[in-house]
Structure 1
Amino acid sequence: MHRLQNPRRGYAWGSPTFIPRFSGERGDGTPVAEEWMGTHPLGESTAALDNGDLVPLSQVNGPLPFMLKILAADRPLSVQVHPSADIARAGFDAEQSAGIALDDPHRSYKDPNHKPEMAYALTTFDTLVGFRPTAEILRILHGLDAPLAARLAAELTEDPGFAGIVRLVEQVLSGSAKAEDIEAVVDACAAQVRRGLDVKRAYATVLEVSEHHPGDPGLVIALMLNRLTLQPGEAAFLGAGIIHAHLSGMCLEIMASSDNVLRAGLTSKPLDPTGLIECLDVGMSRLARVTPTLFGTSTDVFAPDVQEFALAVGQCSAGDRGGIELPMSEHRVIVCTGGAVEIVNDADERIALARGESLYAGPRDGAVRVAGLGEVAQAYLPPPDGATGTSLVDLV
């Protein structure tokens, strides 16, 4: 086992307090958006060897197929989509051939991998994810006294369904919706909220987001997306091709080892509306919550139907005299999410973890047990037979 040191990202939407407090540190007032745990070349963890040396984690047992993040949002993230494997490979090869540097902010494909991901809430976590049904979008648009809303409603009435919704998104992102048109939609949302009228939090969401991104086309897209609130301990799966925009809160994000993001609003980062439209997947237009299965007596396993990752969250106490066992895997990243614990491998090697601290366990560590009073989350490569698989439940 190897204790980890992990890089952080200070994006503008990050929280100055969530991650520092989670790790028992005093923040300096600057946003801390993400902490990365894995071997992605743009933000690789370092592993502590027995002699105290620090080496890139990939030197221990090779690259990991997954990446685990702590994500902390004080402000909304961009409207975005992650590509499928085929699109990611083609996009990466094209940008490589064009000689675009990996760290170029205008580059869309940082690696050739797809990026399915799952969010596991550490605090109350709000997100927008997946298109609402056509009928619901029409109810929302018809309730707004604004020319842009009326025009979009008429077009969706003539061309309903997923393809029609995507065409509305294309139109909004084409520049035809001017800032004053969008502000009129926001004003109409405010009027409905003052009347106590809303449709599944659509209008209230636009008002919340508009405080940070006035006049942004992403506000109109936000009207069309499902609003979901995860409570601590709940998880949601976002497959490649599903449109989403996280709003606020802290979560663990586990994903295929990729940093490919196509953005189309609610951000100061470069946009790729054409790429986002290309990546949208009709089969992933609705969100799925992840229902955990029980491993042992104290561990919930969240395992969506992907090959690259699963997440096990275990709680231990004085009642577990021998500790609790976590699912076995060749590759495991374990982070303490509460209390103080001790991780023990088959060779009886022990590493103590406080909240926010993490380690890597490889195939030679065998079965890993957790003792103490606290909670841990283990990101790991699931078995190919899906023995710890879980079910997905549609949001709507």
Structure 2
Amino acid sequence: MFVGITNTPRDYAWGSAGAISELLGRSSSGRAEAELWLGAHAGSPSVIADPSQVGGFGTLAEWIAHEPQAALGAELAASTAVSGGVRLPFLLKVLAAATPLSLQAHPSSARAAAAFELENAAGIPLDAPDRNYRDPFHKPELIFALSDTFDALCGFRTIAEIHRILAELRALDIASPDPQAAALDALENRLVGSAGLHDVVEWLLRDGRGGDSGEVSWLVERVVALAEFAAYLTEGGAIVSYARELETVRTLAAAYPGDPGIVISLLLNRVALKRGEALYLPSGNIHAYLSGLGIELMAASDNVLRGGLTPKHIDVDELLDVLDFSPIPVPYLGPTEDSVAGVSVFRPGIPDFELVHIQADATDAGSSAGDGPVPMRQVTLGGPGIALCTSGGFLVAGAASSVVLKRGDSVYITPEEGTLTFAGVGEVFLATTGT
């Protein structure tokens, strides 16, 4: 069964005005458009376009709750009932960031389940601003860039690379009108040994947010001043190493003045995805989206542990326990080996989700004039799915029924449709469970 679904973009302050509406060919709301949610998450469940198609239920969440076997299929309905309640395990989003989001990380399944029960036992309300765990689930996620570039911070750099950045800051400090080497000493003296990254992050967050913040405040102020000095030198024709990282410092300082996350950004990989590239951010990975338009696919959870660049609650102890401090390269996620022309599958290796990118041009049909056979792509569902068309149009046929998708349309697909054939020209994103 193909069930038409829709939703209204969430207007978080960091959203880009009109970007999601423009992508989907809709009239702009005139407000910030940050995230369009397509799924059954209670925070913003998708609205069913024709409730009579599913027995009168108005949202996808209501239908799944009342008729899980019909909506999810018997296998997924049974497995999710055992693991914490019948649910669609993934959430598909269109995300449009005009300004940086908070630094954050997400817990593992085991930690989320245990900590959720502990907070329940402590009587902390689910909507309390100082609560960490809103549900017992993990929240790994991937982001696929739709804009020409999508900028992000993700995962810790190597200690050696961080020292090279500090060496550049020291060179700028020496060249500046008012050198203040001691501000950088406070950071570098802590960045030693196997626990160096842990110790620096703990110091920055604990002392920089309500503790003895003199050293941290001075360091943040000095790093920002040196980043501004680097911009001045660049305008004069000088070549500055790590110019992109220092530009990020200036951007973050404008959005979150004085926040210790400004310095933490220098400890992290800085990446500019090109359109069509993707990142996978597993449990424990510290990250922040900086700007751009993308398709985000995640496990359906609200568990976010923040680590800076936010006025919201930060539980330093819990964050430090959840973070993976192992230095890693940029966590790109490429298409799998079983991807074929026009169908790219992004499979992170977890049961919650995978993303399929389907694209077809008129010339793919075998005629440069576009008047030949209609291009066709095939995808086999791993379970239920959600498809979103971002350009063009397709006839989508499954084992039991079919539907026409055009730009801006989205549908929920029940698993009995099996192998789907997409006939048409344009672009579609399909989220389904992992295989």
TM-score by length of 2: 0.82
Please report how far the alpha carbon of residue 110 of structure 1 lies from its aligned counterpart in structure 2 after TM superposition.
Answer: 1.2
Q: Give the distance between the partners of 1:185 and 1:317, measured in 2 at CA.
A: 48
Q: Give the distance between the partners of 1:2 and 1:80, measured in 2 at CA.
A: 34
For residue 128 of structure 1, give the secondary structure of its aligned residue in structure 2.
strand
Moved more, 101-110 or 129-138: 101-110
Pair 1:379 & 2:423 matched:
no
Match of 2:331 among 278, 283, 288: 288
Please report how far the alpha carbon of residue 273 of structure 1 lies from its aligned counterpart in structure 2 after TM superposition.
Answer: 2.3
Unaligned runs of 5+ in 1: 384-396
Q: Give the distance between the partners of 1:213 and 1:50, measured in 2 at CA.
A: 44
Q: Give the distance between the partners of 2:45 and 2:144, measured in 1 at CA.
A: 21
8 Å CA contact 2:105, 2:283 repeated in 1: yes
Map of 2:389 onto structure 1: 336
8 Å CA contact 1:198, 1:204 repeated in 2: no
Please report how far the alpha carbon of residue 106 of structure 1 lies from its aligned counterpart in structure 2 after TM superposition.
Answer: 2.5
8 Å CA contact 2:271, 2:330 repeated in 1: no
Unaligned runs of 5+ in 2: 64-70, 78-86, 174-179, 208-212, 234-238, 366-372
Q: Give the distance between the partners of 2:374 and 2:340, measured in 1 at CA.
A: 14
Map of 2:220 onto structure 1: 182
**In 2 relative to 1, CA 345–48 (structure 1 residues): closer, same or farther, beyond 3 Å?**
farther
If each structure's helix is expressed as a fraction of its own residues, which one has the higher value?
A: 2
Map of 1:113 onto structure 2: 137
TM-score by length of 1: 0.89
8 Å CA contact 2:90, 2:300 repeated in 1: yes
8 Å CA contact 2:36, 2:93 repeated in 1: yes
Map of 1:152 onto structure 2: 187
Map of 2:84 onto structure 1: none
Please report how far the alpha carbon of residue 105 of structure 1 lies from its aligned counterpart in structure 2 after TM superposition.
Answer: 2.9
Pair 1:55 & 2:58 matched:
yes
Moved more, 197-206 or 326-335: 197-206
8 Å CA contact 2:156, 2:326 repeated in 1: no
Map of 2:229 onto structure 1: 191
Larger Rg: 2
8 Å CA contact 2:15, 2:34 repeated in 1: yes
Please report how far the alpha carbon of residue 366 of structure 1 lies from its aligned counterpart in structure 2 after TM superposition.
Answer: 2.3
- Provide, for residues 38-60 of structure 1, a one-character-per-residue CA deviation record: whole Å limited to 9, x for no partner: 22222222334573544332423
Pair 1:133 & 2:192 matched:
no
Q: Give the distance between the partners of 1:228 and 1:120, measured in 2 at CA.
A: 13
**In 2 relative to 1, CA 148–29 (structure 1 residues): closer, same or farther, beyond 3 Å?**
farther
- Provide, for residues 323-349 of structure 1, a one-character-per-residue CA deviation record: whole Å limited to 9, x for no partner: 2112322211111122222222223x3
- Provide, for residues 121-175 of structure 1, a one-character-per-residue CA deviation record: whole Å limited to 9, x for no partner: 111200001111101111212332343322111221xx244x2111101001112
Map of 1:100 onto structure 2: 124
Q: Give the distance between the partners of 1:284 and 1:357, measured in 2 at CA.
A: 40
Moved more, 70-79 or 262-271: 262-271
Q: Give the distance between the partners of 2:276 and 2:380, measured in 1 at CA.
A: 18
Please report how far the alpha carbon of residue 198 of structure 1 lies from its aligned counterpart in structure 2 after TM superposition.
Answer: 2.5
Please report how far the alpha carbon of residue 317 of structure 1 lies from its aligned counterpart in structure 2 after TM superposition.
Answer: 4.1
8 Å CA contact 1:142, 1:150 repeated in 2: no
| Number of aligned residue pairs | 379
Match of 1:164 among 196, 208, 224: 196
Pair 1:143 & 2:187 matched:
no
Identity rate, percent: 39
Q: Which amino acid aligns with 1:341?
A: F
For residue 92 of structure 1, give the secondary structure of its aligned residue in structure 2.
helix
8 Å CA contact 1:343, 1:351 repeated in 2: yes
Please report how far the alpha carbon of residue 322 of structure 1 lies from its aligned counterpart in structure 2 after TM superposition.
Answer: 6.4
Please report how far the alpha carbon of residue 297 of structure 1 lies from its aligned counterpart in structure 2 after TM superposition.
Answer: 3.0
Q: Which amino acid aligns with 1:168?
A: V
Map of 1:391 onto structure 2: none
8 Å CA contact 2:24, 2:391 repeated in 1: no
For residue 76 of structure 1, give the secondary structure of its aligned residue in structure 2.
coil
Q: Give the distance between the partners of 2:193 and 2:274, measured in 1 at CA.
A: 33
Map of 1:36 onto structure 2: 37
Moved more, 246-255 or 282-291: 282-291
Pair 1:91 & 2:143 matched:
no
Please report how far the alpha carbon of residue 186 of structure 1 lies from its aligned counterpart in structure 2 after TM superposition.
Answer: 0.4
Please report how far the alpha carbon of residue 100 of structure 1 lies from its aligned counterpart in structure 2 after TM superposition.
Answer: 2.6
Runs of 4+ displaced beyond 6 Å: none
Q: Which amino acid aligns with 1:29?
A: G
Q: Which amino acid aligns with 2:204?
A: V
Pair 1:353 & 2:377 matched:
no
Q: Give the distance between the partners of 1:233 and 1:154, measured in 2 at CA.
A: 41
**In 2 relative to 1, CA 121–218 (structure 1 residues): closer, same or farther, beyond 3 Å?**
same
Map of 1:267 onto structure 2: 310
Please report how far the alpha carbon of residue 296 of structure 1 lies from its aligned counterpart in structure 2 after TM superposition.
Answer: 4.1
